Structure 1
Amino acid sequence: MAGPAVVDPERAAMPAVPNVPEELAQLPYAHLLQPHSGPLRADQRYDTVHFDGTEHGGAAGGAGFLECAFTGVHFDGAGLRRASFNEAWVHGSRLVATDLAESEWQDSAVLGSVLAGIAWYGCALRRVVLRQCKLESVNLRGATLRDVVFEDCLLRDVDFGEARMTEVAFPGSTLEEVRLGGAKLSKVDLRGAVRLGLADGHLGLRGAVISTHQLFELAPQFAQALGIVVKDG
């Protein structure tokens, strides 16, 4: 079975980074947004709602967010299991110890935000951009990621175990103690990563594209994973 493809980054073009609005006013639905107040409610549908500087810690499982914007929002211990985010825009927000398991994200962006201690396993991310975000102790086991970009992000202790990742890229991102055990990768481009630090799952890189430099850096871990003893003399 083929391993990760090794490509000279100077000879192969990096995947294009999607154009994502950086300011609230740039959103195509900005003029439709209505301010929100009060707690989130389970199974509630929110359409063109602006959550600004609010704090949420309650249970709102199954809630749906369509063309919603979140600016400076703090989710602390919130329960958003099986929630759906369609064309959502999250900026400068904090998500701490929040349950996003089995949630669905499509055509959405998360910018300049912190995600720490997040249960995000079993989720589905499609056409999602995370830019200048810090992800720490995030559980993405069994998740499905398609057309996802982690741009200029820090991923520390992020678990992609058993995840299915297709056309995922990490331009400018730093990966530390990332887990890929049992992951299924297809057209995953890691060449743009500033650092590629894996805690385990080196054989899970099968189906990824890495650079020659990254291959040399990972060589000791590949040898260990394959049970190869490297000894000189």
Structure 2
Amino acid sequence: MRTSTIGDVTILLPDLDPADLDPTTDLNDDLSEALVEDASWRGAVFDEVRVRSSRIVGTDLSESTWEAGTLFGCEIVRTDFSGASLSGMTLERCAVTGSRFTGTRLTDFRLKDVLFEECRFDYAAFTRVAAAGAVGFVDCILTDATWSSCRLPKVVLRSCRLDRLEVESCQLLGADLRGNSLHDLKTTLGNLRGLTLSDDQLADLTRLTVEELGLTIREQ
């Protein structure tokens, strides 16, 4: 088992040795200790698939549909989920690196001990996504994405692009957003309750306050 510590949060991650995994090109059955490389399932439909202690690398899953199912103890690397619909799924103890979720719809999604690094979530829609444990986004792009009715307490974001990220009816109590620009964040102040911020983000917070309250600021 390996861990990654971001700020005050420690995330439990898989520690897989590719030499111990069995190569496969079939994701339609439950997988355990499998290695999937450079496969293509664009537009495929997966129903209650369970993947455990496996590594998925360079795979095309764009426009695919996932209903329920679980990924536990998995590493996902340079995989394309663009335009996919992921509903009712659970990701637990997973590391997702260099993968693309452009325009992906994540609905009724559960996250626990998940680290996203250098992933693209531009135009992605998070709806009722819940974190039941530590979750981190590092060097990720979330421009023009939406978070709606999400419960992401203690989620950590570092060095992420949040331009025009829209946050609506979310519970982010204890979330750590230090190290990100909030300048173009689209949200009301109620969604920011209980956040951890740094001094250099106070100007952005002030701008959000002025906009929400409709204040007019003039020289004395």
Instruction: Work out whether residues 170 and 190 of structure 1, in 8 Å CA contact, stay in contact via their aligned partners in 2.
Output: yes
- Contact kept in structure 2, 1:174 and 1:196, CA below 8 Å: no
Match of 1:160 among 147, 168, 181: 147
Measured after TM superposition, the shift of residue 227 of structure 1 is: 3.5
Structure 2 contact 75–96 (Cα < 8 Å) conserved? yes
Cα offset for 1:30? 3.1
Matches within 5 A, 1:166-181: 166-181=153-168
Quote the Cα distance in structure 2 between the aligned partners of 1:203 and 1:31.
Answer: 49
| Corresponding position of 1:3 | none
Bigger relative CO (Cα 8 Å, ≥ 6 apart):
1
Equivalent residue in structure 2 for 1:193, among 180, 184, 193: 180
Amino acid at match of 1:81: E
| Alignment-mate amino acid for residue 155 of structure 1 | L
Tell me the distance in 2 between the aligned counterparts of 1:161 and 1:174.
18
Partner of 1:32: 20
Looking at structure 2, the residues matched to 19 and 151 of structure 1 have their Cα atoms a distance apart, in angstroms, of 15
1:129 corresponds to 2:115: yes
> Within 5 Å, which residues of 2 pair with 1:95-110?
95-110=81-96
Paired amino acid for 1:188:
A
Question: Which stretches of structure 1, 4 residues or longer, exceed 4 Å deviation after superposition?
Answer: 16-21
Superposition pairs for residues 8-87 of structure 1, below 5 Å?
14-15=7-8, 18=11, 27-38=15-26, 40-41=27-28, 44-56=29-41, 57-87=43-73
Unaligned runs of 5+ in 2: 1-5
Q: Which runs of 5+ in 1 are unaligned?
A: 1-12, 22-26
Deviation at 1:19, TM superposition (A): 7.8
Q: What is the percentage of aligned positions where both structures have the same residue?
A: 18
The alignment status of 1:215 with 2:202, answered yes or no, reads yes
* Superposed CA offset, 1:33-72 (max 9, x none): 111124x32xx31111111000112111211111111110
CA distance in structure 2 between the partners assigned to 1:81 and 1:228 by the alignment: 46
Comparing both structures, which one devotes a greater share of its residues to strand?
1
1:230 CA displacement:
2.7
Cα deviation 1:74-119 (Å, max 9, x = unaligned): 1121111212110111011111111112211000010011111111
Q: Report the number of matched residues.
A: 213
